[in-house]
Amino acid sequence: MKKLIIAFAISSFVTTIVNAQTISNKATKESEYEKNYKIIMISDSIQSYIKEEYNIEKTFSDIYPEYFGGVYISEDGQNVILQIVEKNIPEIGSDDYDIYNKLVNFDDLVKTEFVENSFNELNKINNSVSDYLISEKSSEIIIGSYVDVVNNKSVVEVTGTNPTVQRALLNDISFYRKKLKQSAVNYVQVDVPTLNSEIIKAGGTILGMPVDYDYAVCSMGFRTRFANKDGYVTAGHCIKGAQFVESGQVLYSQFADNGYFDYGFVATNNDFSPSNSLAFPSNDGSVKTLAVVNSCPTITVNMQVAKSGRNTHYTEGKVTGLNQTVRMKVDEIGNETVTLKGLVKTNLENGAGDSGAPVFIPRTDAEGGAIPLGVLSGGSDGFLGIGRTMYFTSINDMYSDIQLGRY
């Protein structure tokens, strides 16, 4: 009898330790989410200040001051890094210097880093590559391009590593647009990503557009109102060309080869009621709903993000590139491709059927839930997860009615 009592006591003690450890781990994770959110909001504030002072409405086409190189979050998530082109620092006493001085002293968590290339130069190169990619002269070797703020480069993504071919491509691109600064370009070999819709005969969270005798099966994004109708946002390619889908009426779809962004809106019918609850919460259960907010923070490289999709469920990662132009396969087994522009690049795990899934800043329900950032478009697995990509359309690039209609 004593052995049984001792065994029960030991079992209870172990259970108490396990429960305490679970609570501790959850509290630690929640603390990390809040630190991440604080850094994101500092990044958002400093970039909003720059845009306000220089009347910048379109991040990747308007002109920034030449001393500005970019903004990103440090790899450890502890600081906002403000990049400055030292040779272009404005003269003391000028209006530009007053703005510059406020930027470099914006917050104790903002650290200055001197770089060679201005954000304007990186934008110019990236936009030139983007224009070339959708031109008649475009080479199939190029998969995409994006602004790599961390390394102060414009990245050209290619399927091969032959340096001779790369130099020829850059010369071709320069000829097509304007002479480009070759030292500001990096070439990176990547896999060809795929739009993450899935063709099956039945089942799935969202049955989208008809495909032969089947349907595109995707994920719901976030709940909102558009044209005075309740409904949800998903990937535009999931509902392209459809007037009605199982869950309601398609009121808008933005998705076209050589076009910007990939999103659309479905006004739900009486059989479906969209919810802010995540279909697949975080593993510890702390992140389980989307917050109802009327704004979306500025997307910054290295900011921590997450997604919840019908295939790969809840996964976390980081933003790795901005203003991505990318050529993607329409499906995994076909040769048809589509080129999309203006996407955000991340390293999150994703797969077929995740298209349209919400991408968000992970936060706990106690603080209002996860902050929606956009909807998933496609990606690739990389090699054993190395080089993995996932692309999404930011809410900031959607119609203002969709941004403000969340409920």
Give per-residue pLDDT as tens, 16-58. 555 656 556 667 778 889 999 999 999 999 999 999 999 999 8
Paired tokens of 88: 């272009």
Q: How does strand 153-158 pair with strand 185-189? A: parallel
Go through the chain and tell me how many residues it has.
407
Indicate the SS3 state at residue 133: helix
The pLDDT mean for the chain works out to 85
pLDDT for res 20: 58
Residue 199's pLDDT is 38
Task: Place 176 in a pLDDT band, splitting at 50, 70 and 90.
Answer: very low
The two tokens of residue 82 are: 């403000």
Residue 185: the pLDDT is 87
Q: What value does the mean pLDDT take over residues 286-312?
A: 92
Reported as a single tens digit per residue, the pLDDT across 346-369 is: 999 999 889 999 999 999 877 788
The partner residues of 393 in beta bridges, in order of sequence, read 375
Please determine, for residue 9, whether its predicted confidence score (pLDDT) is greater than 50. no
Percent of the chain with pLDDT over 70: 83
Query: 383 and 354 in contact (C-beta within 8 Å)?
Result: no
CA dist., res. 393 & res. 174, Å (int): 28
Q: With bands split at pLDDT 50, 70 and 90, how would you rate the model's confidence at 335?
A: confident
Pairing of strands 358-361, 223-226: unpaired
Compute the average pLDDT of residues 90-109. Answer: 95
> Which pTM value belongs to this model?
0.83
Q: What is the pLDDT of residue 191?
A: 83
Provide the pLDDT for residue 140.
Answer: 76
In angstroms, the CA 210 to CA 212 distance is: 6
Residue 232 pLDDT level (bands cut at 50, 70, 90): very high
Percent of the chain with pLDDT over 90: 56
Output the furthest CA–CA distance in the chain (Å, rounded): 89
- For 98, the token pair is 């007053």
CA 280 to each of CA 11, 104, 308, 354: distance values in angstroms, whole numbers, following the listed order: 32, 41, 6, 12
> Looking at 212-336, which runs of residues are DSSP E strands?
214-218, 223-226, 229-234, 244-245, 248-254, 259-260, 263-268, 304-309, 313-329
At 201, is the pLDDT very low, low, confident or very high (cuts 50, 70, 90)? very low
Q: Is the pLDDT higher at 130 or at 202?
A: 130
